[in-house]
Amino acid sequence: MSDTSESPLPPAAHRELPVAARERARYATMVLFFFTGMVYASWGIHVPTVRDKFHLDAAWLSVALFSLTGGSIATMVVNGAWIARVGTRRACLAGGLLMSACTALILVVPSYWLLLPVLALFGAGMATLDVAINAEASAVETALGRPIMSSLHGMFSIGGMAGAAGGGALLSAGMAPALHLALAALAGAAMLLAASPWTLPHVALQDHPQTKHSRGNRWRTPALWALGIVALIALVAEGAMYDWATVYMRDVVGATPASASAGYAAFSGAMAAGRFAGDAVRARFGAVQLVLVSASVACAGMIGALVLPFTVTALAGFALMGLGLANMMPVLFAAAMRVKGIHSAEGLAHVAGIAYVGLLVGPVLIGGVAQATNLSIGLAVVAVCAALVALIGPKVLKRLGI
């Protein structure tokens, strides 16, 4: 395929490409989602390594983690228009290569104060890649004429599992942490360079039907704010589960260390499974019903885990939480890329930028409520968030005609 910056195609041309080209684009996008999950997980297992290397207490470690998330959110404020202009292929390469380079640097920078900008740039690269691959996924979904968004997000989950498991195995075998991150960065860059040429050709911003009347109006579009708020609420719940599920299993349920870890695994595994099943469900019943039922399942699972704090019931409840939350982001992101009058990349950047605030405030909110009361009441906030998504999410989607 030709370079995206040289020969942009009109939007309808994607549907006119040969079936083989559209399928290659789907497989390439699957690789890009896998790459994102793998590299992010490779960094994630080294959070304790970073803490020990720089002798950080909880507060300074939180500052480092905030640098990464803050870099992501700040970038999403501005990167949507750039991605719409240059195309998803160039944006994937730029964001992914920046992310890979920063991954290799995390454990070799000599000081904490140099670590902070590296993590911020890592977050900026991931935000650029995140918006680009989701915009590409939306274009491929349209070109193929069938839902694929959820299964692509499932590839992110698989990549995360592979990155965590592979990294753990290499570290257990005695590999130095810095070498592991360097290898993960090289492997990721190789996947990125191999897959990117097979993505869809660029749709020029001026030729995009969504933008010819009201380009750049995303900050004044109520639909995007509504989708962003729903997504934020969902990510408050998801972020809280990542940070507090194991603590709940250990401190409230009184589970063994192995069973406590299984709480996180049950949540993550069910989320991955739910994403691979989500496309067929969305095709059969529609996005509105999928969000309503999924959020209701998540709420019921969390209530069950809190009301019956035993190992088996808590694990089952966390699995239902993962299953229920699995398709929230794929559906809401897909809706953001179909808002009339806004380019898909700009719509996604707007909604994702709002939503990812939930990953920042969710764990802190639950921790604050737990500190004032107890962890069970703190995690009840997760059930409330799921109930709110079930209540308002379908209404927002119906209003948009999704």
| pLDDT tens-place string over residues 171-181 | 889 999 999 99
Structure tokens at 35: 């790459």
pLDDT of residue 350: 85
Where is mean pLDDT largest: 116-120, 164-168, 256-260, 374-378? 116-120
The tens digit of pLDDT for each residue in 305-320 reads 999 999 999 999 999 9
Average pLDDT over residues 275-302: 93
Residue 211, CA distances (Å) to 22, 206, 218, 350 in order? 24, 7, 10, 15
CA distance 151 to 333: 13
Torsion, CA 95, CA 96, CA 102, CA 106, rounded to 10: 130
Bridge partners, residue 203, by sequence = 9
pLDDT of residue 212: 46
**Residue 128 burial (CB count, 10 A):** 27
Helix, strand, or coil here: 213?
A: coil
Which residues in the chain are classed under CATH 1.20.1250.20? 13-207, 218-400
CA distance 138 to 141: 5
The tens digit of pLDDT for each residue in 231-248 reads 999 999 988 887 678 778
Does residue 106 surpass a pLDDT of 90?
Answer: yes
The tens digit of pLDDT for each residue in 331-377 reads 998 898 888 878 777 888 888 888 888 877 787 788 888 888 898 99
pLDDT of residue 369: 86
Does residue 36 surpass a pLDDT of 60?
Answer: yes
Choose the CATH number for 13-207 among 1.20.1250.20, 3.30.200.20, 1.10.260.30, 3.40.50.150.
1.20.1250.20
217 confidence band (pLDDT: 50, 70, 90):
low
End-to-end CA distance of the chain: 32
366-383 burial, b if ≥16 CB within 10 A, otherwise e? Answer: bbebbeeeebeebbbbbb
Percent of the chain with pLDDT over 70: 90
Phi, psi of 401 (to 5 degrees): 70, 30
CA distance 351 to 77: 10
CA distance 219 to 79: 14
**Mean pLDDT of the chain, nearest integer:** 85
Helix, strand, or coil here: 203?
A: strand
5 confidence band (pLDDT: 50, 70, 90):
very low
Average pLDDT over residues 94-119: 96
- Can you spell out the DSSP letters for 376-402? HHHHHHHHHHHHHHHHHHHHHHHHHT-
Structure tokens at 328: 């929230």
Whole-model pTM: value is 0.78
* Residues whose CB falls within 8 Å of the CB of residue 114, separated by 6 or more in sequence, listed in order: none
* Residues whose CB falls within 8 Å of the CB of residue 401, separated by 6 or more in sequence, listed in order: none
pLDDT of residue 126: 92
Where is mean pLDDT largest: 3-17, 217-231, 275-289? 275-289
**Residue 55 burial (CB count, 10 A):** 8
* Residues whose CB falls within 8 Å of the CB of residue 216, separated by 6 or more in sequence, listed in order: 81, 346
Does residue 395 surpass a pLDDT of 50?
Answer: yes
pLDDT of residue 326: 92
pLDDT of residue 114: 96
45 confidence band (pLDDT: 50, 70, 90):
confident
Structure tokens at 180: 């592991």
Which CATH superfamily hosts domain 218-400?
Answer: MFS general substrate transporter like domains (1.20.1250.20)
- Asked whether 104 and 188 are in contact (CB, 8 A), the reply is no
Does residue 205 surpass a pLDDT of 50?
Answer: no
